[in-house]
Structure 1
Amino acid sequence: MVLEVAVLNIKKGLSKDFEASFKKAESIISSKKGYVSHQLKKCIEQKDKYILLVNWETIEDHEIGFRKSDEYKEWKELLHHFYDPFPIVEHYI
């Protein structure tokens, strides 16, 4: 199993909107082949900061199966405009 980790810095004051959009986006990611589970955690010390943890069966399930899918375009439309700066995504085993 591979753990995807992304620290998400949300534009000031948009956390509630981000959380609502993420609720919609959850069904997109959870429907993809190789998806195992995910958690979105809100930072206690810094407002408008989150960490996204996604477990995938393989790195290819994330990098190819999800990111190169048509559903990823919808994910991007729902979420990417909230980030500042755009998050660095890393994978762990």
Structure 2
Amino acid sequence: MILEAVMLHVKPGMESEFEFAFKKASKIIASMNGYLSHELNRCIEVNGKYLLLVRWETLESHTVGFRGSAEYQQWKQLLHHFYEPFPTVEHFTEVEI
């Protein structure tokens, strides 16, 4: 399992519109091959800051399958104009302890 983690900074005053658009976009990502789950968390201390966590079966499910799909173009159209600055995406794998 791969965990995609993204810190999102939404432009001031656009938080409600972003959350509404994200609900639509959630259906897109949830339909993708290799998708397991996702969650969006709003920061308590900083307005407009969100943490997106997406679980994928493999790294390629995200980087090749999703990003290379027509559905990703819809995702971008719905969400990318909200971000300032544009987010950095990182991928993690669980450490067995």
The TM-score, its normalising length taken from structure 2, stands at 0.95
In structure 1, how many angstroms separate the alpha carbons of the residues matched to 2:11 and 2:59?
A: 28
- Mapped pair 1:43 → 2:43: yes
| Structure with max Cα Rg | 2
What runs of 5+ residues in structure 1 fail to find an aligned partner?
none
The alpha carbon displacement at 1:22 in A equals: 0.2
In structure 1, how many angstroms separate the alpha carbons of the residues matched to 2:48 and 2:15?
A: 5
Residue 90 of structure 2 corresponds to which residue in structure 1?
90
Residue 52 of structure 1 corresponds to which residue in structure 2?
52
Instruction: Give the alignment's Cα RMSD to 1 decimal.
Output: 0.2
Write out per-residue CA displacement over residues 51-84 of structure 1, whole angstroms, 9 at most, x where no aligned residue: 0000000000000000010000000000000000
Percent identity over paired residues:
57
Alignment of 1:66-81 (within 5 A): 66-81=66-81
- Mapped pair 1:11 → 2:11: yes
Tell me which stretches of 4 or more aligned residues in structure 1 moved more than 6 Å: none
The TM-score, its normalising length taken from structure 1, stands at 1.00
* Equivalent residues, number: 93
In structure 2, how many angstroms separate the alpha carbons of the residues matched to 1:7 and 1:13?
A: 18
The alpha carbon displacement at 1:12 in A equals: 0.4
What runs of 5+ residues in structure 2 fail to find an aligned partner?
none
In structure 1, how many angstroms separate the alpha carbons of the residues matched to 2:67 and 2:49?
A: 23
In structure 1, how many angstroms separate the alpha carbons of the residues matched to 2:46 and 2:19?
A: 16
Residue 2 of structure 1 corresponds to which residue in structure 2?
2
